[in-house]
């Protein structure tokens, strides 16, 4: 996400005075709610989906994730790289290549 | 997310030959699953949460969102700005300011 | 669910003094969290799942639903029949037969 | 849920020829989707919720759980009692009383 998009999201929240509702807990609920609107695009079929609807719902998930980064004053790249360090250890290339098993079963 | 982080995620998937599992439907499930691991941080309390755990789970949501953008060949800023156009109309500043009501109730 | 099972769930909660945590909002989060542990059984495959794990997670969803019925003092059959009245109207047999479309698209 | 309600749900599905869509995986998605419509009732407030809406969404979760029990030919009381055996061991009264900690932290 570029700075212009981030600033648009921040202005959207500020203009509506919505930061008061953006507790981390409320945003966690919101991310799950939007993730399930995205999931609904695939409720009865994995392949017959409405791409425009998928784009809208995925965007909603990403906007609430951005709101949560802001509410907690987190840096997106920092937390992702921290987690990728963990993932790369949990799922070593040797063990995980071509497998969809959970790390606890590898 | 900067290019370096995006490339790290892509390499992680490529090295493990996991693109075969990354259908949009499977990624939608994965985003919801991780969103609920994030929600679990707030299951019994809105205020007493483990910030490190929150960071890890939010990062997982963001990584799967990036995987879905890649699987569908979408541009993050493009879909978010498309959706923000819609949100700004649905939630006009006049009607929505200070309110947590859904647009259909405003 | 028979009375004996319902009473076992109620005693489990009472013995641990957990009603204090069983606000409707916390139980709604809990139902979603357990629903996603159930969904995780199908994360990468629709057909290759661990039936024992599915049973355990479906049971967890049902237990939290029972806790929510109790927290709100609701009768399960009453609310389901109320909702089935609505569903039967929204999805008339003539329109909905053999279709997986949402009522708004029928 | 009494036999009459269970039979009403089964007839609803049979009349619409919907068993073809009721794979365990699709029902797991559906339970999560409805659980999140329930969660949406509490998105911005834990205490200011629409009880009628809560009833409808909780009923939807329960109906899809019933569909899943049927799809997998499971007995509700059997799987719940099996899981309660596990829960009573994981959360012993001595350790868990009055605490909202996860069993792994008790």
pLDDT in tens, chain D (106 residues): 999 999 999 999 999 999 999 999 999 999 999 999 999 999 999 999 999 999 999 999 999 999 999 999 999 999 999 999 999 999 999 999 999 888 888 8
CA within 13 Å, CB half, A49: 24
A78 vs B102, residue with greater confidence = A78
pLDDT at B48: 95
Chain mean pLDDT for chain A: 96
pLDDT at D104: 85
Confidence of residue C106 (pLDDT cuts 50, 70, 90): confident
Give yes or no for residue C103 having a pLDDT over 90.
no
Whether A89 contacts chain B with CB within 8 A: no
Whether B16 contacts chain A with CB within 8 A: yes
- B38 vs A31: CB contact, 8 Å cut-off? yes
Chain B contact set for C30 (CB, 8 A): 43
Whether D51 contacts chain C with CB within 8 A: yes
Question: How confident is the model over B27-41, as a mean pLDDT?
Answer: 98
Contacts of C87 (CB under 8 A, 6+ apart): D12, D63
Residue with tokens 């809990």: C30
pLDDT per residue over B72-101, tens digit each? Answer: 999 999 999 999 999 999 999 999 999 988
Q: Are C63 and D80 in contact (CB under 8 A)?
A: yes
Chain C contact set for A31 (CB, 8 A): none
Q: Are D39 and A29 in contact (CB under 8 A)?
A: yes
What is the reported pTM? 0.97
Chain mean pLDDT for chain B: 96
Q: Which residue of chain A has the CA closest to D28?
A: A43
Q: Tell me the C-alpha distance between A35 and A65, whole Å.
A: 11
Whether C44 contacts chain A with CB within 8 A: yes
Give yes or no for residue A93 having a pLDDT over 90.
yes
Burial group, residue C10, by CB count within 10 angstroms (0-12, 13-18, 19+): middle
Could you tell me what percent of chain B has a pLDDT over 70?
100
Whether B100 contacts chain D with CB within 8 A: yes
Q: Which residue of chain C has the CA closest to B24?
A: C44
pLDDT at A104: 85
Q: Which among B76, D76, D40, B96 is positioned nearest to C61, based on CA atoms? A: D76
Distance from CA of D23 to the nearest CA of B (A): 15
- B100 vs D46: CB contact, 8 Å cut-off? no
pLDDT per residue over C56-99, tens digit each? Answer: 999 999 999 999 999 999 999 999 999 999 999 999 999 999 99
- From the candidates B23, B46, B100, B105, which should be mutated to test the interface with D, based on the most D CB atoms within 10 A? B100
Rounded (10°) angle between helices B76-90 and B51-71: 110
Nearest-by-Cβ selection for C83 from D59, D68, D81: D59
pLDDT per residue over A13-66, tens digit each? Answer: 999 999 999 999 999 999 999 999 999 999 999 999 999 999 999 999 999 999
Q: Which two tokens stand for residue D31?
A: 């339970």
Confidence of residue A106 (pLDDT cuts 50, 70, 90): confident
């Amino acid at each position: 996400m570029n700075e212009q998009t981030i600033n648009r999201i921040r202005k959207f929240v500020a203009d509506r005075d919505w930061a008061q509702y953006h507790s981390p807990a409320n945003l966690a609920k919101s991310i799950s709610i939007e993730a399930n609107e995205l999931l609904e695009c695939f409720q009865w079929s994995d392949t017959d989906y409405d791409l425009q609807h998928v784009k809208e719902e995925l965007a909603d998930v990403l906007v609430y994730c951005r709101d949560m980064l802001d509410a907690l004053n987190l840096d997106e790249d920092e937390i992702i790289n921290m987690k990728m360090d963990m993932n790369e250890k949990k799922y070593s290339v040797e063990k995980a290549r071509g497998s969809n098993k959970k790390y606890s079963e590898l």
